[in-house]
Structure 1
Amino acid sequence: MAGGDTLDSFAGKLEAMTARFAGLGSTLEDAALMKKLLDSVPDRLYGAVARIEQFCDVSTMAFEEALGRLKAFDERLWRRGQAGGELADGALMYTTA
């Protein structure tokens, strides 16, 4: 996932890849999509990935469920003002040394 990508845009790219696989006569299983998703998220979502891998059966989890969990965690970070040094209103946080 590139630095500027949102979860929605990255999920769209993965779904487009699934459609290309289908166009070639093959299928891309949810397990493969899950691996790509969980391996590609930014560092700020690492805690959510660890929880998903620890407490859920990733081999049977639907791609949409994992995406929903990651989006909920990301939204909570934004509301708490912990996402990349920015507050929820977009203002930068500064610290004094």
Structure 2
Amino acid sequence: MGLLYQAIPESLIMQIGDVDSAKVLWDAIKTRYIGEDRVKESRLQTLNTELDQMKMMESETIDTYAGNLSGIASKSTTLGEVIDKSKLVKKFLNTLPRLKFIHIIASLEQLLDLKFVGFEDVVGRLKAYKERIRK
């Protein structure tokens, strides 16, 4: 029991109170953390839904939209689920406004292996394209 008490935070010790055996202590610790796992799983589900529903608006900049996607990926990683970089790249390219970016999207899909290209690389190429057509 002493080892269990040493391994848990002091705040949790105060919540558990007096217990008679290591088994009862272990069950109390487990009960506290099952709730955390469920909350974490719920947050991950919410982030995945948010990611699935994301689409770049016409008024949004590439930086803003890429930042939003990166933010969701970072939150997901913090919760223990890493979003594959190729999934993020494909999501980014598939949710850009088609009329504005169809030429560069088609070129990138033809020239690059989207499984291995970095998210930042694709964002940088799109920003360069946007500046080029603006001039």
Task: Determine which structure has more spread, i.e. the larger CA radius of gyration.
Answer: 2
State how far apart, in whole Å, the 1-side matches of 2:88 and 2:132 are. Answer: 24
State how far apart, in whole Å, the 1-side matches of 2:96 and 2:134 are. Answer: 16
Deviations 1:50-91 (A, max 9, x none): 000001111100001111111111111111xxxxxxxxxxxx
Shift in Å at residue 23 of structure 1?
2.1
Q: Could you tell me which residue of structure 1 aligns to residue 113 of structure 2?
A: 57
Q: Could you tell me which residue of structure 2 aligns to residue 3 of structure 1?
A: 58
State how far apart, in whole Å, the 2-side matches of 1:22 and 1:67 are. Answer: 20
Q: Could you tell me which residue of structure 1 aligns to residue 78 of structure 2?
A: 23
Shift in Å at residue 24 of structure 1?
1.5
State how far apart, in whole Å, the 1-side matches of 2:118 and 2:67 are. Answer: 15
Number of aligned residues? 79
Comparing both structures, which one devotes a greater share of its residues to helix? Answer: 2
Q: TM-score, normalised by structure 2?
A: 0.56
Q: Could you tell me which residue of structure 1 aligns to residue 18 of structure 2?
A: none
Give runs of ≥4 in structure 1 deviating > 2 Å.
none
State how far apart, in whole Å, the 2-side matches of 1:32 and 1:26 are. Answer: 13
RMSD: 0.8
Paired letter, 1:59: K
